[in-house]
Chains A and B, each alone.
Chain A
Amino acid sequence: MSEHYLLRHRSVPHIDRLDVYRSQGGFEAFHKAVTSLKPGEVIEEIKKSGLRGRGGAGFPTGTKWGFLPNTLWPHYVVANADESEPGTFKDHEILESNPFQFLEGLMIAAYAVQAQRAYIYLRGEFWQLAQALDQRIAQLEADGLLGEDIFGTDYSLRLFTHLGAGAYICGEETALLESLEGKLGQPRLRPPFPATAGLYNSPTVINNVETLTNVPLIIGRGADWFRSFGTDKSPGLKIFSLSGCVNRPGNYELPLGCTFRELIYDHGGGIVQDHAIKAIMAAGASSVLIAATPEALETPMDYETTLEKFGAPLGSASIIVLDETVNMAWLAFKTIGFFKHESCGKCTPCREGTFWMNQIATRIMRGKATRADIHLLENVAQQIQGKCLCALGEFSIMAVLSSLKLFAKDFEQLIKVEHDG
């Protein structure tokens, strides 16, 4: 098996134990940063690496860290471990099996922006993972890697876990901050951005678990090493969560820019029962559907190409594979049901729109809809477009509009026969 760097436990057994992690060079990058690099030098190295956020938006991580003003204190770092996008299960594996590398990345990020407190916001379902992290944080404190005057410097840092309680919207960074402050998990209006007014109104960096897990590699091995993987604009390795109608669903650590075909066929073992592949979702339930033509399968998965070619952002790289047996009206019904359940209710187009889409889609699935209902569905979706406070509203119509466009026949099939009783 090839060497794994993010899913390190696949190369080094028991890397979830602190002694094993340290025997493999663990926390040397943190030591190097705190004892021999200035905070600005850490940020420079991350900028040079070209690391982009793995939580969905692909924003350059070093640039984000550099936004925090040195005139406002304290600074905070928050790790986003809310992982709730249907089809996404990569952070889960990191937290479970390679937790110290994630923690080290979080600690380096905290040092880089001189935060003395950092929070890990986990979805409530990760209750057991949070318990395990609490124990590991205690171990790090006992080893002097966390606490006061780390490595004899004057830098101090403490980490805390915080459990959510079942709300997808809390993965959106400003809703997450509201939730962490003890309020309803509803997104904030921007500006101000978290970089200037985040947690407790203080400058705050929010990064995804996988993003942070890359950080010790970059500080330890250098930006050039990192850039030896992936493409020029999307450098590095990425964990692709592969699910749906494939023989070997799972997480695959591959360079950005590898193709759908490599992931689905070489690694995922192809389609179940040798069915024909029909469509691909690249970013979980929030995806635009991509018709799985032979040409589409050769498309490199990076932050530019899928967007340019299909209007389909790579997002968190959660690849859901749909085969010929899947009716895309049913698929739209499933994604609508998800977003209706998860709409936080703060703005009308999203709250009402997902409700109405759900009514219509349910009608379609029961065979009670007419052709006019299909137009109505499209119409409601278009009314949501561009009118929402946060991206969830937009996400809710991606599969709807693209399935209507690419697979209209699937909807037709479910239309009520005109003269039935």
Chain B
Amino acid sequence: MKKLAELYEDEIQVILAKYPDEQKRSAVMPLLYLAQRASGRISQEAMQEIAEILDIAITDVASIVGFYSLFHEEPGGRYRIQVCTDLPCALRGADAFLRQLCDLLGVEVGETTADGLFTIEEVKCLAACHRAPVFQVQNGDGLEYHENQTIDTARLVIDELRLRAQKPPGGAA
């Protein structure tokens, strides 16, 4: 597996330059996003490398990965479909929408489709409550919002993602 330093040499420099020289540790989250970009998850090797770049312990890096819900150690689908079912969205039909979406893809919340493309997840408020039902699609380090959804518009989004998945990986979401 290629090292981050080879894959993203310039980007790593840009990230490190954002913080004062003696505060490199601040770069841990942006570097983790970089590590997650290619495969949608963060490997032990990547954590080790980030720890070395920042001169901190790998356990510190691992605890950050564990703390934040958008970092993933476990493999999941290429696209994580994250549906908000928090209170304001739930008042506007989010639970029923989630159910329909699960049926459409033939999986339950937390499961991945057999083709490895989609994982459905339930998430908390996405700051778009007036446009419920709403979901975001997380892919590598990319995220995009889909608002005012119905099961029909969601089907279009999913078809579009299937097409995109046929192109070579590595691009943004």
Beta-carbon contact of B130 and A184 below 8 Å: no
A246 nearest CB across to chain B (Å):
9
Beta-carbon contact of B63 and A184 below 8 Å: yes
B168 contacts the other chain (Cβ, under 8 Å)? no
- Complex interface: stretch among B28-36, B103-111, B154-162: B28-36
A294 nearest CB across to chain B (Å):
22
Beta-carbon contact of B70 and A165 below 8 Å: yes
Residue of A127, A162, A167, A250 most packed against chain B (CB within 10 A): A127
Beta-carbon contact of B86 and A338 below 8 Å: yes
Once the chains are docked, how many angstroms separate the CA of A85 from the CA of B86? 10
Within 8 A of A (CB), among B83-122: 86-88, 90-92
Beta-carbon contact of A83 and B127 below 8 Å: yes
Within 8 A of B (CB), among A274-294: 285
Given the complex, which residues of B lie within 8 Å of A338, measured CB to CB? 86-87, 124-125
Within 8 A of A (CB), among B43-57: 54, 56
Residue of A nearest to B123 (CB): A166
B153 nearest CB across to chain A (Å):
18
Beta-carbon contact of B125 and A86 below 8 Å: yes
Given the complex, which residues of B lie within 8 Å of A249, measured CB to CB? 88, 92, 129-130
A366 nearest CB across to chain B (Å):
15
Beta-carbon contact of A86 and B87 below 8 Å: yes
Given the complex, which residues of A lie within 8 Å of B143, measured CB to CB? 124-125, 127-128
A242 contacts the other chain (Cβ, under 8 Å)? yes
Once the chains are docked, how many angstroms separate the CA of A251 from the CA of B71? 31
A331 contacts the other chain (Cβ, under 8 Å)? yes
Interface size class on chain A is 35 or more
Once the chains are docked, how many angstroms separate the CA of A285 from the CA of B90? 13
Beta-carbon contact of B127 and A164 below 8 Å: no
What is the predominant secondary structure among interface residues of chain B facing chain A?
mixed
Residue of B23, B60, B124, B126 most packed against chain A (CB within 10 A): B124
Beta-carbon contact of A84 and B125 below 8 Å: yes
Beta-carbon contact of A86 and B33 below 8 Å: no
Beta-carbon contact of A87 and B26 below 8 Å: no
Beta-carbon contact of B29 and A163 below 8 Å: yes
Once the chains are docked, how many angstroms separate the CA of A83 from the CA of B20? 26
B82 nearest CB across to chain A (Å):
9
Beta-carbon contact of A162 and B18 below 8 Å: yes
Beta-carbon contact of B68 and A91 below 8 Å: no
Please tell me which one of the listed residues A127, A181, A342 contacts residue B141 in the complex, with CB atoms under 8 A apart. Answer: A127
Once the chains are docked, how many angstroms separate the CA of A266 from the CA of B24? 51
Beta-carbon contact of A185 and B87 below 8 Å: no
Known: A86-B88, A124-B68, A165-B70. A182 touches B129 (CB 8 A): no
Within 8 A of B (CB), among A303-333: 320, 322, 326, 331
A160 contacts the other chain (Cβ, under 8 Å)? yes
Beta-carbon contact of B141 and A331 below 8 Å: no
Known: A86-B87, A243-B130, A285-B86. A164 touches B29 (CB 8 A): yes
Once the chains are docked, how many angstroms separate the CA of A250 from the CA of B130? 5
B67 nearest CB across to chain A (Å):
5
Known: A160-B18, A179-B29. A241 touches B130 (CB 8 A): yes
Given the complex, which residues of B lie within 8 Å of A180, measured CB to CB? 26
Given the complex, which residues of A lie within 8 Å of B23, measured CB to CB? 181, 200
B144 contacts the other chain (Cβ, under 8 Å)? yes
Interface residues of B (CB under 8 A from A): 18-20, 23, 25-30, 32-33, 54, 56, 60, 63-64, 67-71, 86-88, 90-92, 123-130, 132, 136, 141-145
Knowing that A128-B144, A181-B25, A181-B26 touch, tell me 6 more A-B residue pairs with CB under 8 angstroms.
A92-B127, A182-B28, A182-B64, A241-B130, A243-B92, A249-B92
Which 4 A-B pairs give the minimum distances between C-beta atoms?
A: A165-B68, A166-B69, A182-B25, A249-B130
19 sample A-B contacts, Cβ–Cβ < 8 Å, listed by A number: A83-B127, A84-B125, A86-B86, A87-B125, A87-B129, A89-B128, A127-B143, A162-B30, A164-B68, A165-B32, A165-B33, A165-B69, A166-B71, A180-B26, A182-B27, A184-B67, A241-B129, A244-B88, A249-B129
